[in-house]
Amino acid sequence: MTINVVAVTGCAAGIAHTYMAARALEDAGKEHGFNIKVETNGSIGPENVLTEEEIANADVVVLASDVEVEKARFAGKKIYVTRPKVAMKDAKALVDIAMKEGTVFGGKGTEVGNITLGKTSENGFIQHVMSGISYMVPMVISAGLLLAIANVFAFQRDDLGRLVAWGFDQSTFMGDLMFHLFKVGQVGFLLMIPLFAGFVANSIASKPAIAPAMIGAYIANDAGFLGTDTGGGFLSAILVAFLVGYMVKYLKMVPWPKICKPLLPIMIIPLIATFLITVIVKYMIGTPIAAGMSSLYEWLTWMTTTYASSTFIIGAIIGAMIGFDFGGPVNKTALIFGTAVWTDTVAKYGIEGANFVPGTAAQAAISVAPLGIFLASKLFKNKFTATEKVSADSAFGMGIVGVTEGAIPFAAAHPVQMITASVAGSALAGGLVGFFDVKFYGGIGSPLGTFVGYIEQPIPFVTWILCTMSGITLTALIIGLWRKPVTSDNGASTTVSDLGDVASKEVFKPEHVLLDTTSKSKAEAIAFIAKEAHKLGYVSSEKQYAKGLKARENQSSTGFKDGMAIPHCKTKAAKNAGVFVVRFSHPIEWETMDDEPVRTAVALSIPAEGDEKSVEILTKLTRCMMNDQFRETLNQKDSKEVDLTISAAIA
C-alpha cells in the first residue's frame, strides 16, 4: 500500500538545510514509491504550503526543522519531529522511523517558562473535552443561528410598531416556517450535550463508548427522568463522558472469551456500559448535580440582572483568561465555561432567558492578541523587524477568523510583554460586550463576526466592532509603547530604506573565490572565512561573524557531500549578503552527509534583517547546490568557470 507523507523543513538561517532536507525527502519518495509533499519554511517565507486536504490524507507528518513549527494544524495526525540533517542523510529511513515511532498530536504550541502557550494539559483532560467540543461546535452554531433568525420573527408588533407579544403567527407561511425553524434549533440544543459527551468518551476509549455516553448525558439532562426541576447541564455531561470513557477502557482490557470478541464493540461493551451509567446517573449523581447546577445558574443570572457592573467584571475575567495563554488550558477553560453557561441556560430558560455574558466575552476576546500584534506592526513600524512584520501579517490571517494561536510566535519571543498586552486588551473587549449586553449567537469571534454570524447588539454591526477594536487597540498600544526601535550594531535605528548603497552591494564577485592554504581544522577554516569576508567589506565584525558561524555549526553541521560544506549564519555583523567560495589546500574534517572531508566551502553572510532580496538570491544558490553538476563545477580548479556558475545561479 502506498503511504502518504507530508513534511515541513526549516533551519535556523532558512537557507541551506531547509531546501536540502526537502530535496532529500522528495527524492526518497520518487525512489521508494511513497507520496510526499514538503513545505519549506525558508527565509523567503513558507513555500509549497500544505493544504488541509493533504494533511487530512497523510499517514504521517514529518517535521524536519531546527526551528519551532506550529503544530496546531496537524492535530490528530501522527507526527515525528526531527532535524533537517536526519532527512539529508537518509530520508527513506527517516520516513520508516516516522511511521513506526510517530505519535498522534493532540495539543498546540510551545511552552515559555511555566506558561503553556497554545498547548493542552499533559493529563489529557482538556484534550478529551476539546475533542468533544470540536464535534459539538457545528451543532451549536447551526442551532444557535436558526434560533436567532427565527427569534427575530417571533416578536409581534401593534399598528404603531410597538412590541406587544412574543410568539409565532402560524396562520402565515413565514410565521409557520419560523416556528418550525425555532423547534429545529431547540432540537439542536437538546442533542448537543449528548453529542459532546459521546465524543469526549470516544476520545478516551474509541467507538464503543459513544452510545453509552450519549444516552447517559441525555438522561442526566432530562428533568423528567431525574425527577428534578432541571437537568445536570454541561457538568453532568463531562462527568458522564469520563465515567463511561474509562469504564469502557477497562472493559476492553478484560480477557473476554474468543467467542465474545466479535460482539464486544457493537453489543457487549456498549450494553454493559449503558446499564451501569444509567444506574449511576439515576441513583447517585443525577439529582445532586442538577440541584447544584440550577443554583449556580440562578445565582449567575441574578448577578447579571441585579448589578449592572457585574456583566463588565464577568466579561473582563473571561476575556483575560482567553488572552492569557493563547489557546492553552486557561484559554480553553474560559471557552468551555462560556459555552457551558450558554447551552445550559438555553436548555433551562429558553433562548430568551439564556445567559450570553461569558460566551460572548470569550468570542470578543479570542482575536484580540493576534490582531493587536498586526495593528502594532502597522502603527509602530520602526519597532518591528522585517521578519516580524511578515509574522504579524500571518497573525492577522489567523486572528481575523478567530484563532488566538496566531500570537504564539510573538509570545514565545516576548512572553511578559505579550501576556500583559493580550490580557489587558482581551479583558477590555470581554468587559465591554458584557456591559453593553451584546449577545453572540454564532459566527466568527473577531470584528468580522458582526457580518459573518448573528450578534444582537444595541447599535447593529457597530457595537461589536467598537468593543473588539477597543481591546485590539489597547493591546497594540501596549506592545508598541513597550518595544524599543529596531537597532543596527551601532545602535542607530535601521530600516530597509536606510541601507542605501550597502544594500545594493553585489552578492558575488570574482574576487570571492578564495584559496586557503593554511587551515587544517574547521575552527581555522571558519576564522579564515570570517577574516576574508571582513576584508571584502561584507561584515562589520570579523569576530562576531565567526562566532555566528560557529554557533550555527554547533546547532547543526553545514557539511554537505562531495567534499563540500555551506557555512552560514544570520547575524547583525553582516552588512551585506555575500557568497564566498573557499578552496582548502588541506582536507578539513567536517561532519558531512557522506563522511568525506571538506575541500570546498560555499560560505554565506546573511544580514539579520532588511535585505530580503539578497536572501532570496541566497536561497536560489542553495537550491543549485543540490545539483550534482553544479557541485562538480565548484570543486574544479578553473576559477573562471566557478565565477560563471555562481553568477548564473543567483541571477
Q: What is the pLDDT of residue 15?
A: 63
Pull the grid cell for residue 3: 503511504
Is residue 117 within 8 Å of residue 110, measured between CB atoms? yes
Number of helical H runs and strand E runs in the chain: 24, 17
Burial class, 296, CB count within 10 angstroms (exposed 0-12 / middle 13-18 / buried 19+): middle
Question: What are 391-420's pLDDT values in tens digits?
Answer: 788 788 878 888 786 787 687 678 889 999
Task: Classify 232 as helix, strand or coil.
Answer: coil
Q: Which helix (H) or strand (E) holds 59?
A: none
Q: Cα(299)–Cα(381) distance, rounded to whole angstroms?
A: 48
Task: Compute the CA torsion angle 631, 633, 635, 637 (nearest 10 deg).
Answer: -170
Which residue has 403567527 as its cell numbers?
169
Which residue has 494544524 as its cell numbers?
73
Residue 405 DSSP label: G
Which pTM was predicted? 0.50
Q: What is the pLDDT of residue 545?
A: 93
β-strand pairing of 4-10 with 60-65 = parallel
- Map out the domains of the chain with their CATH numbers: 4-107 (3.40.50.2300), 126-298 (no CATH), 504-649 (3.40.930.10)
Q: How many C-beta neighbours within 10 Å does residue 156 have?
A: 14
Q: What is the pLDDT of residue 302?
A: 76
Q: How many C-beta neighbours within 10 Å does residue 100 have?
A: 10
Q: Which helix (H) or strand (E) holds 563?
A: none
- Nearest residue to 398 (alpha-carbon basis) of 419, 380, 372: 372
The helix-helix angle for 173-205 and 329-349 (nearest 10°) equals 140
Q: How many C-beta neighbours within 10 Å does residue 591 have?
A: 14
Burial class, 415, CB count within 10 angstroms (exposed 0-12 / middle 13-18 / buried 19+): middle
Task: Give the CA count within 13 Å in the CB-facing half-sphere of 9.
Answer: 26
**Residues marked as catalytic:** 11
Q: Cα(212)–Cα(185) distance, rounded to whole angstroms?
A: 24
What residues are paired with 163 via a beta bridge?
A: 157
Pull the grid cell for residue 301: 443570572
List the chain residues with pLDDT less than 50.
107-117, 119-123, 163-164, 488-504
Q: Cα(238)–Cα(240) distance, rounded to whole angstroms?
A: 6
Q: What is the pLDDT of residue 114?
A: 40
Burial class, 625, CB count within 10 angstroms (exposed 0-12 / middle 13-18 / buried 19+): buried
Task: Give the CA count within 13 Å in the CB-facing half-sphere of 168.
Answer: 19
Q: Cα(428)–Cα(313) distance, rounded to whole angstroms?
A: 10
Is residue 486 within 8 Å of residue 493, measured between CB atoms? yes
- Nearest residue to 120 (alpha-carbon basis) of 332, 336, 321: 332
E strands within 494-593? Answer: 513-516, 564-565, 568-571, 578-588
